Amino acid sequence: MYDANHLISRLHSASKGHETRNFATFPARASVTFGELFAGAERNAAALVALGVQPGDRVAVQVEKTIEAIQLYLGTVMAGGVFLPLNTAYTVPEVAYFLGDATPRVVVCDPARLEDIQAISGAARVVTLDAKGLGTLTDSVVGRGGFTPVPRGPDDLAAILYTSGTTGRSKGAMLSHGNLASNSLTLRDYWQFTSADVLIHALPIFHTHGLFVATNVALFAGVRVVFLSGFNADQILEAMPQATALMGVPTFYTRLLQDPRLTPERAANMRLFISGSAPLLVDTHEQWQARTGHRILERYGMTETNMSTSNPYEGERRAGTVGFPLPGVEARIVDQGHEVARGETGVLEVRGANVFRGYWQMPEKTAEELQADGWFITGDLARQDAEGYITIVGRQKDLVITGGFNVYPKEVESLIDDLPGVLESAVIGVPHPDFGEAVVAIVVASEPQNISADKIAEALSDQLAKFKQPKRIELVAELPRNTMGKVQKKALREEYADLFA
């Protein structure tokens, strides 16, 4: 039954007429049609209700990426539940925090973890789902019939996604049916996705990027997805000649660039390469264009806001920027309570139907970041150029304050990255007895024989004010990154904490 407010009803209704078309194809298993996807989702919904799930109940899920896991997501929301996906890398003690905080009715985990999870799951029912889509959940799904989505309003919760939590405890971002539906429809139209598209889906599905941006947009547009369990250059390159779009994190692009099979011919059928979740280096953008003839479209968002800005589909995609606020999204850059002038840096705030409902059971934290008039303080530092293109300068908490002066890491990183022989860099602040914090640059060389700390220091000496120049430059083999390709500055700050002790 069609319910205009219900996310899954809307996704389902968008797929009408596509029932016998493939939704997902895989390198090594039979494809799944749109009809089969939703029939499976209905069976999951029925199974979850049989397990006791009531509207508003959380269903916590830590499983490998499978189409059954997508059906579990759809089924949970169909049943009126709140989908709570967890990074497969989380350890059992980490999962214990999330289960304690979110008190789910049902937990779905890998069979290998069943005993450990049962020990920490409190009153929740625990069922299993493995990397092949099998387990006790699947057993209880088999044989169930159709399911009518439990009515939900646009403000009702569809999901809670815990933020990666680089400071303090991880917070559960509450996302409503309205948040998710409005953002996916905006993206579908802005990026011009239609049922003629074939999207390479290699992102994890415990994160907003792979779960909502990629999956919901594909479902709303009737797109077929090449469903890969993770990043695999062979599989992506093999799929590319028949595909039209790829959504990736910047590391997808840097890794694919290392492969000689990436050629204009291989990318000839593609119409769109999208990057987000971490900054794409200007260099990567330029190399990609030189190698494939395509300009990567970079967009920006976060768990709490879904997607907020994007480079244009038509018009100039400006490297090093995340483009303009999406239709229906307002953005402003604020410093000390005032909007800054173009070209100046401040904290980016956004408002719109995309912005979440607050942090789960953290009213104070919510009030600090989500203001009463709807403006959400992203915590990202940004500036806007004369034409309105927004550049993300980094997280506010990564700002270095040395001797009372502010240093924006990105300014120093960009200069270092531009030097010949440098691949990339991360600039951090570490404790310093005189300056409070000292600027430190961690650098990865592309040509180690041609670059050294002294050469970098010399090159920066007449380009940056003295207080911005790194007090130490460390050359390393690679930067620590999480699964979404984000450089882990917190880990670097910890590693180099004693540099000036």
Residues near ligand AMP (CB under 6 A): 163-164, 208, 276-279, 298, 300-303, 322, 378, 380, 392, 395, 484
Residue 298, Cα to own-chain centre: how many angstroms? 13
Whole-Å CA distances, 370 to 25, 57, 71, 363: 40, 24, 32, 10
Nearest distance, CB of residue 278 and ligand AMP, angstroms: 5
Least separation, in Å, of the C-beta of 393 and ligand AMP?
9
Q: Can you list the positions of beta strands (E) in 291-421?
A: 297-302, 306-310, 324-325, 329-335, 338-339, 346-352, 376-384, 390-395, 400-402, 405-407
Q: Which amino acid is at 72?
A: L
CB of 299 to ligand AMP, least distance (A): 6
Query: Do residues 183 and 209 touch, judged by C-beta distance below 8 A?
Result: no
Contact at 8 Å (CB) between 50 and 140?
yes
Comparing CB distances to ligand AMP, the nearer of 42 and 298 is 298
β pairing state of 106-109 and 125-128: parallel
Coarse DSSP helix, strand, coil percentages of the chain, rounded to the nearest 5 percent: 30, 25, 40
The distance of closest approach from Cβ of residue 165 to ligand AMP in the complex, given in angstroms and rounded to an integer, is 10
What pairing do the DSSP bridges indicate for beta strands 22-25 and 297-302? unpaired
Q: How far is the CB of 86 from ligand AMP (least distance, A)?
A: 14
Q: Which residue has the tokens 């479209």?
A: 297
Cβ proximity to ligand AMP: between 211 and 456 the closer is 211
Q: At closest approach, how far in Å is the CB of 203 from ligand AMP?
A: 11
For ligand AMP, the closer CB: 278 or 419: 278
- If the CB atoms of residues 172 and 222 are measured against ligand AMP, the closer one turns out to be 172
Contact 22, 195 (CB under 8 A): no
CB of 275 to ligand AMP, least distance (A): 7
Q: How far is the CB of 240 from ligand AMP (least distance, A)?
A: 22
9/251 with CB nearer ligand AMP: 251
Q: Burial, 110: exposed, middle or buried (Cβ in 10 Å; 0-12, 13-18, 19+)? A: middle
* 125 versus 395: smaller Cβ distance to ligand AMP: 395
Of the candidates 352, 256, 337, the one whose C-alpha atom is nearest the C-alpha of residue 304 is 352
Stated as kind and residue range, the H or E segment containing 284 is: helix 282-292
Q: Which residues pair with 66 in a beta bridge?
A: none
Closer to ligand AMP at the Cβ: 302 or 329?
Answer: 302
Nearer to ligand AMP, 81 or 301 (CB): 301
> Residue 75 or residue 204: which is nearer to ligand AMP going by CB?
204
- Residue 246 host element (H or E): strand 245-248
Q: Are 301 and 276 in contact (CB under 8 A)?
A: yes
CA 290, CA 211: separation in Å to the nearest integer?
31
For the bound state, the minimum distance from the C-beta of residue 182 to ligand AMP, rounded and expressed in Å, comes to 18
